[in-house]
Chain A
Amino acid sequence: MSTVTNTTSDWKLPSPRKVGILTLILAESALFTIFVVAYVFYIGKSLNPPYPHQVLEFPWLGSIALFGSSGTIIAAERCLRSGNSKSFLIWWGLTLALGIYFVFFTATEWWKLIMVDGLTIATNTFGTSFYSLVGLHLFHVLVGLVLLSAVFVAAARKKIHADHHEHVEVISYYWHFVDCIWIVVLTVVYIISVRATYE
């Protein structure tokens, strides 16, 4: 068998980090699929109020913040790639702030649902499937915020350079995924299920 030195360049394979995060996203998609199916299955099946059309309001501000953060993270990434670490820090901080705002927005929404409308996870099947689906998404946002803050702190201490570009890109893949899931949640929860009729 012939042997080869490690420096030949005509043998290229994909980056482990990127394949790894894409595979993780695939697994997470399977997890979300089950919760989305459960939510769809229980639309119109709650035995007692409150029903979605009575209590849910379309979360404009939260959604705009979350979708906007996907744009700012792309801008941050571009800045890092071109070696501009100062504007990277600004864009990245903005992403973090938008993410935190989304959590704050959801918290106020849940406060209203629980305290004013009396909808908890144990109230009816709508409550169970709503809080578990939106809560699972919120949990992923929180994990994303931990990752974003870790990079933010490191960048503020000038530890992030252009050659960390791929590490940062992996986090942005995850963040975009969290955004994509929100599109599905918005459609299913805030558009489809509020149109369901209950007896």
Chain B
Amino acid sequence: MSQDIIIEDNYRLPPPEKVGREPGSFTSVIQGLVFTVDHKKLGLMYIASGLLFFVIAGSLATLMRIQLMVPDNTFLPPDVYNRAFTMHGTTMVFLVGMPIIFGFANYLVPLMIGARDMAFPRMYAFGFWVFFFSGLLLYFSYLGAPGIYGAGSAPDVGWFAYSPLTSKAFSRGHSTDYWTMSLLLGGIGSVSTSINILVTIFCCRCKGMTLGKMPLFVWLNLVMVFLVILALPCLSACQIMLSLDRYLGGTFFDTQAGGSAVLWQHFFWIFGHPEVYVLIMPAFAIASEVIPVFSRKPIFGYPVMVAASISIAFLSLGVWAHHMLTIGMSALGNTFFVISTLLVAIPTGIKIFNWLGTMYGGKLRMELPMLFCIMFLFQFLVAGLTGVMLAIAPFNWQLSDSYFVVAHFHYILIGGLLFTIFAGIYYWYPKAFGRMLDKRLGMAHLVFFTIGFHVTFLPQHFLGFLGMPRRIYTYQADRGWDLWNFVSTVGVVFQAIGILFLVANLIYSYVRGKKAGNDPWDAWTLEWATTSPPQDYNFAELPEVKSRRPLWDAKHPNDPDWKHE
């Protein structure tokens, strides 16, 4: 089918009547949210529900930090603590990270490739609602999981739910089943959304936008959805097997009947490790858009960036057992996974040097998106270095399941992913709502959150070295862990203040923010070519591109990029 027919397919006029309801009334707003298939609206709904779950999971983390602030604390009982870290981890990965990155991808990919909509708009709405209800299902476990026996509450088996903790004998009631069903549903939603993004990128690009002229944001999201499509079904397979074990008496993970608990670990991490790269690719994607625009230079080494991303994705499929170096694999197995893990550092290092190369000699504009990205560069470097440390098998045997690991992956997911998500929010908020976010509130957010983040998580490296295991609900006073635990909890206060500034800013600027105009940052990709906020149909006339920076060409007709590329 040729491109023009797709455009006809996707071009939809707004509905002539809002089915007899007053525009702006509560029912018509709800109706608009439920019935919409617009990629921009659904993208914002993805991000908004992700932020909602972020607040919930952040509150759970705060409760845990209060419990650990002083030794022998009795603020949370052990069973409640177990539920808190399970729900915190599961929520942050599946209900915060995934929806927010899908939200960004869905909002921006069609705009950046000059399309009017996703390839399958209704399937996109399906993906969103399935995700949303999977989240509600997970939290309904607090009410529903006890069942008629009154056993269990929210899931309490940790976010990777190691067998045999999940067997009927050790997990009574329905808590693990809520976890299983929620993740199975969420997996269906994520895969359908990913298929949609992938098809949109391959089949809906505007004229002239070859794969080599796509913005890096689009490229990296392509790599991300590819990983989702390969990795998430493995998780679904795990959940199906676990359900068979729990309900039909299967013996997959039942060691007494010849099953294997280690097999669960392998299957889970075959999903779990690519998942980490699923979460970090969008961080790279946002940094690769923000850094060039605020350095006033094209991205340094575009083809190398693409190649590095693809090789990271490829390598990430073969490193899963570095999460399992302590289970006693053969020396050959250990060596293989250590080497493959260390190899990941090469393309990742290339990326960091390319971002630095982009900034080098540029005319840096220290706006908020850029400041968040610079923080990302430093923090991600720290996270990468602790990652290399943990990849060394003997070091890993010492520190696996300690607070050092907790610190490492929070530096990845907060210092890496969350900081770039903040950068993305400051960068694209003007596009989505037509108003700039307030700079002073934003600076307060940046300062408080950065301080809070480091004060919370830097000491956790030391706690790991001092031997504190993760997932313990309390500890004795003579262990020497009280100082750093206290400091770590104090940091949470600063983070919470930072988040409050962000929420205040989002609301304040929606009403009072400075008008943004179409292109407030003097940027170069196609989303800035249309109005802010964009119309339902995105572009009145579909653009045609000749280079990687179509808006640069439009603004500088005498010296367009396509003469040099």
Distance A121 CA – B245 CA, assembled complex (angstroms) = 9
- Scan B112-154; emit 1 where CB is below 8 A from any A CB, else 0: 0000000110000000000000000000000000000000000
Binds B, one of A2-10, A61-69, A88-96, A183-191: A2-10
Binds A, one of B81-89, B231-239, B308-316, B502-510: B231-239
Q: Does A31 have its Cβ within 8 Å of any Cβ on chain B?
A: yes
Is the CB–CB distance between A122 and B199 below 8 Å? no
Query: A27-B191, A125-B258 are known contacts. Are A19 and B203 too (CB-CB below 8 A)?
Result: yes
Most B CB atoms within 10 A — which of A1, A19, A28, A45? A1
Distance A120 CA – B234 CA, assembled complex (angstroms) = 24
Is the CB–CB distance between A31 and B236 below 8 Å? yes
Of A14, A38, A41, which one neighbours B202 at CB under 8 angstroms? A14
> Nearest chain A CB to B219's CB is how many angstroms away?
17
In the complex, what residue of chain B is closest to A12 when comparing beta carbons? B2
- Scan B509-547; emit 1 where CB is below 8 A from any A CB, else 0: 000000000000000000001000000000001111100
Neighbouring A residues of B286 by C-beta, 8 Å: none
Distance A27 CA – B194 CA, assembled complex (angstroms) = 10
- Name 23 A/B residue pairs within 8 A (Cβ), A-sorted: A1-B544, A3-B542, A6-B4, A6-B7, A8-B4, A11-B208, A13-B3, A13-B6, A15-B1, A16-B6, A20-B119, A23-B229, A27-B191, A27-B195, A27-B230, A27-B232, A30-B230, A30-B231, A30-B234, A122-B251, A124-B257, A128-B250, A128-B252
Is the CB–CB distance between B249 and A122 below 8 Å? yes
Neighbouring B residues of A23 by C-beta, 8 Å: 195, 198-199, 229
- Scan B238-254; emit 1 where CB is below 8 A from any A CB, else 0: 10110011001111100
Is the CB–CB distance between B259 and A19 below 8 Å? no
Distance A4 CA – B541 CA, assembled complex (angstroms) = 7
Distance A134 CA – B37 CA, assembled complex (angstroms) = 37
Query: A16-B6, A30-B230 are known contacts. Are A125 and B259 too (CB-CB below 8 A)?
Result: yes
Residues of chain B having any CB pair with chain A under 8 Å: 1-4, 6-8, 119-120, 191, 195-196, 198-200, 202-205, 207-208, 229-234, 236-238, 240-241, 244-245, 248-252, 257-260, 263, 267, 270, 529, 541-545, 550-551, 553-554
In the complex, what residue of chain A is closest to B545 when comparing beta carbons? A1
Distance A20 CA – B7 CA, assembled complex (angstroms) = 17
Is the CB–CB distance between B233 and A31 below 8 Å? yes
Distance A26 CA – B191 CA, assembled complex (angstroms) = 11
Query: A15-B203, A16-B119, A132-B241 are known contacts. Are A4 and B544 too (CB-CB below 8 A)?
Result: yes
In the complex, what residue of chain B is closest to A15 when comparing beta carbons? B1
Of A1, A11, A34, which one neighbours B238 at CB under 8 angstroms? A34
Of B259, B544, B551, which one neighbours A3 at CB under 8 angstroms? B544
Q: Does A46 have its Cβ within 8 Å of any Cβ on chain B?
A: yes
Neighbouring B residues of A125 by C-beta, 8 Å: 251-252, 257-259
Neighbouring A residues of B7 by C-beta, 8 Å: 6
Distance A108 CA – B435 CA, assembled complex (angstroms) = 66
Is the CB–CB distance between B237 and A35 below 8 Å? yes
With A30-B231, A31-B233, A128-B252 given, name 14 new contacts (CB 8 A): A1-B543, A4-B544, A8-B4, A15-B203, A16-B119, A19-B203, A27-B232, A34-B238, A41-B263, A121-B244, A122-B250, A124-B257, A128-B244, A166-B1
> Nearest chain A CB to B188's CB is how many angstroms away?
10
Of A11, A42, A47, A122, which one neighbours B3 at CB under 8 angstroms? A11
Distance A15 CA – B554 CA, assembled complex (angstroms) = 30
In the complex, what residue of chain A is closest to B539 when comparing beta carbons? A3
> Nearest chain B CB to A9's CB is how many angstroms away?
6
Q: Does A129 have its Cβ within 8 Å of any Cβ on chain B?
A: yes
Distance A35 CA – B553 CA, assembled complex (angstroms) = 52
Neighbouring B residues of A45 by C-beta, 8 Å: 258
Is the CB–CB distance between B248 and A31 below 8 Å? no
Q: Does A107 have its Cβ within 8 Å of any Cβ on chain B?
A: no
Q: Does A24 have its Cβ within 8 Å of any Cβ on chain B?
A: yes
Is the CB–CB distance between A31 and B237 below 8 Å? yes
Neighbouring A residues of B258 by C-beta, 8 Å: 42, 45-47, 124-125
Is the CB–CB distance between B270 and A34 below 8 Å? yes
Chain B contact residues, majority secondary structure: helix
In the complex, what residue of chain B is closest to A29 when comparing beta carbons? B233
Query: A38-B252, A125-B258 are known contacts. Are A20 and B120 too (CB-CB below 8 A)?
Result: yes
In the complex, what residue of chain A is closest to B230 when comparing beta carbons? A30
Neighbouring A residues of B248 by C-beta, 8 Å: 121-122
A contact residues, range: 35 or more
> Nearest chain B CB to A178's CB is how many angstroms away?
16
Is the CB–CB distance between B3 and A12 below 8 Å? yes
Neighbouring B residues of A120 by C-beta, 8 Å: 249
Distance A31 CA – B244 CA, assembled complex (angstroms) = 15
Query: A24-B195, A26-B229, A124-B257 are known contacts. Are A34 and B234 too (CB-CB below 8 A)?
Result: yes
> Nearest chain B CB to A39's CB is how many angstroms away?
11
> Nearest chain A CB to B122's CB is how many angstroms away?
13
Distance A2 CA – B260 CA, assembled complex (angstroms) = 62
> Nearest chain A CB to B238's CB is how many angstroms away?
7
Distance A1 CA – B207 CA, assembled complex (angstroms) = 12
> Nearest chain A CB to B273's CB is how many angstroms away?
14
> Nearest chain B CB to A8's CB is how many angstroms away?
7
Is the CB–CB distance between B233 and A2 below 8 Å? no
Neighbouring B residues of A132 by C-beta, 8 Å: 240-241, 244, 250, 252
Neighbouring A residues of B238 by C-beta, 8 Å: 34
Query: A34-B267, A121-B249, A132-B241 are known contacts. Are A4 and B207 too (CB-CB below 8 A)?
Result: yes
> Nearest chain A CB to B411's CB is how many angstroms away?
29
Distance A20 CA – B444 CA, assembled complex (angstroms) = 45
Which 5 A-B pairs give the minimum distances between C-beta atoms?
Answer: A122-B249, A34-B237, A31-B233, A1-B554, A30-B233
Distance A20 CA – B263 CA, assembled complex (angstroms) = 31
Distance A121 CA – B204 CA, assembled complex (angstroms) = 46
Most B CB atoms within 10 A — which of A2, A8, A34, A132? A34
Of B195, B236, B267, which one neighbours A20 at CB under 8 angstroms? B195
In the complex, what residue of chain A is closest to B11 when comparing beta carbons? A6
Neighbouring B residues of A136 by C-beta, 8 Å: 240
Distance A45 CA – B254 CA, assembled complex (angstroms) = 12
Query: A23-B198, A41-B260 are known contacts. Are A4 and B203 too (CB-CB below 8 A)?
Result: no
Is the CB–CB distance between A13 and B257 below 8 Å? no
